[in-house]
Amino acid sequence: GPCLCPRWRPQPARREPALLLRGARQSIGTQAGGLRAGKPGDDGKQVSVRRGRSEETLLSAAQKVKEAGRDFTYFIVVLVGIGVTGGLFYVIFKELFSSSSPSKIYGDALEKCRSHPEIIGVFGESIKGYGEATRRGRRQLVSHIEYVKDGLKHMRLKFYIEGSEPGKRGTVHVEVKENPERGRFEVRYIFVDVDTYPRRTIVIEDNR
């Protein structure tokens, strides 16, 4: 009779689980790489970042150069100011304290007039001196001339004095000569002309 036993058929070979997992991982990695490579704008973002950094570097360098130039300008201005100030101090010091300045010679001669007994007897106490009158009426300019004689510098000054005696006025004449050994000016003479009646000349110092 007919045989009811099941027939044997060849079955396909089963793949190992490890091979299946490896293939799945490779497929997923390939897809992910494709997605990353396929994203639009990634290259543009990198170029934009690099360009931004380079622009920041250039701006920083330009700012540093600008600040350095500004600091150098301030430094030059400060140096010029110091030079001008030093020159002014030198001129003032030489004018007030140097033995060869007209102001110093005028001050010394005025002090001798104030301490001279005959001058005090004629003009009174509180003797004051003044120079030529300016356009504004101020008597501040001391008239003086400088000249060279026998190889030595000379200077002559003229100023005016008044004291507590009303109406009394005098003209002071001073001459100094350079002393090369001492490096300073020395008085040759100081005399005062009394400009009011009775007129006369008072000799304070005469070393001629």
Please write the tens of the pLDDT for every residue from 173-208: 999 999 988 888 999 999 999 999 889 999 999 998
Count of C-beta atoms within a 10 Å radius of residue 116: 19
Q: In the prediction, which pLDDT does 29 show?
A: 52
Instruction: Return the residue matching tokens 């190889």.
Output: 151
Work out whether the CA dihedral 134, 120, 96, 173 comes out positive or negative.
positive
205 or 93: which leads in pLDDT: 205
CB 115 within 8 A of CB 161: no
Q: Which of 5-14, 132-141, 162-171 has the lowest mean pLDDT?
A: 5-14
Q: What is the DSSP-derived secondary structure letter of residue 7? A: P
- Measured N-to-C along each axis, helices 102-115 and 42-97 cross at an angle, to the nearest 10 degrees, of 40
Please write the tens of the pLDDT for every residue from 105-161: 999 999 999 999 999 999 999 999 998 877 665 666 788 999 999 999 999 999 999
Please tell me the distance from the alpha carbon of residue 179 to that of residue 181, in angstroms, as a whole number. Answer: 6
Q: In the prediction, which pLDDT does 151 show?
A: 92
Please tell me the distance from the alpha carbon of residue 17 to that of residue 6, in angstroms, as a whole number. Answer: 30
Q: In the prediction, which pLDDT does 82 show?
A: 81
